[in-house]
């Protein structure tokens, strides 16, 4: 397809596609003449991934380029490719908490990872975020919620296995990596929305007339 057809297929304006080409986010098309290039399904998939990263996950263009370079690696193991993408997608933030609460949170998370036999990089940004989140819960006197951390972990591990199983039906390595990344981005919104709806329903069930 020509660039105009690629634009229609993906709903991405032609100037934006050209920008992605200049920045190296999108592979060049196959030249059919000195001034014409043709594009195929891999370009459609890549544009959808770029849009998900930039528009939905609000990832800076430079970081998107790093993620895509990782996904395009022919030598890096798939686990490492996906891990690099996850690290780029994980926000870095420091929540307010006391030192005592943070120490207790660190011990609780360390025990959780050990007891569940999870393979986790000690430098994983999500690990630091989890510790900070639990420390914030403790500092706000919400120990009753984090007392159920194992229950949270059970639920998360169950649906994460389901997600991974769902995308492994993709036929190619590229599609698999892209599906995991897009699933990570949209999955956060999906889970948060379902949780809010469930809370609203349970609240109405228990306290509507109180």
Task: Tell me the H-state helices in 116-172.
Answer: 125-139, 143-146, 149-167
CA distances from 209 to 11, 200, 201 (A): 47, 14, 13
Dihedral over alpha carbons 55, 59, 61, 64 (to 10 degrees) = -110
pLDDT at 68: 85
pLDDT at 120: 92
Q: Give the confidence band of 171 by pLDDT, cuts at 50, 70, 90.
A: low
Q: Is the pLDDT of residue 131 over 90?
A: yes
pTM of the entire predicted model: 0.75
**Residue 102 tokens, joined:** 């943070």
Q: Is the pLDDT of residue 82 over 90?
A: no
CA-based nearest residue to 1, from 22, 21, 30 = 30
**Residue 196 tokens, joined:** 């809010």
Task: Tell me the H-state helices in 33-75.
Answer: 41-51, 61-71
Q: Give the confidence band of 93 by pLDDT, cuts at 50, 70, 90.
A: low
Q: Is the pLDDT of residue 51 over 80?
A: yes
pLDDT at 10: 92
pLDDT at 170: 59
């Amino acid at each position: 397809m020509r660039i105009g057809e690629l634009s229609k297929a993906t709903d991405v304006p032609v100037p934006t596609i050209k920008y992605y080409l200049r920045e190296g986010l999108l592979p060049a098309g196959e030249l059919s003449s000195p001034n014409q290039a043709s594009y195929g399904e891999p370009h459609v998939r890549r544009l959808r991934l770029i849009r998900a990263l930039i528009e939905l996950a609000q990832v800076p263009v430079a970081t998107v380029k790093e993620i895509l370079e990782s996904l395009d690696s022919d030598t890096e193991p798939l686990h490492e490719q996906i891990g690099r993408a996850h690290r780029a997608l994980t926000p870095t933030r420091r929540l307010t908490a006391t030192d005592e609460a943070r120490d207790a949170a660190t011990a609780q998370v360390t025990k959780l990872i050990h007891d569940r036999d999870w393979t986790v990089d000690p430098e994983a940004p999500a690990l630091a975020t989890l510790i900070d989140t639990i420390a914030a819960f403790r500092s706000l006197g919400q120990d009753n919620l984090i007392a159920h951390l194992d229950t949270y972990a059970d639920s998360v591990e169950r649906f994460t296995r389901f997600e991974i199983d769902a995308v492994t039906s993709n036929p190619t390595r590229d599609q698999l990596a892209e599906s995991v990344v897009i699933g990570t981005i949209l999955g956060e919104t999906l889970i948060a929305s379902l949780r809010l709806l469930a809370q609203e329903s349970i609240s109405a069930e228990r306290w509507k007339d109180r």
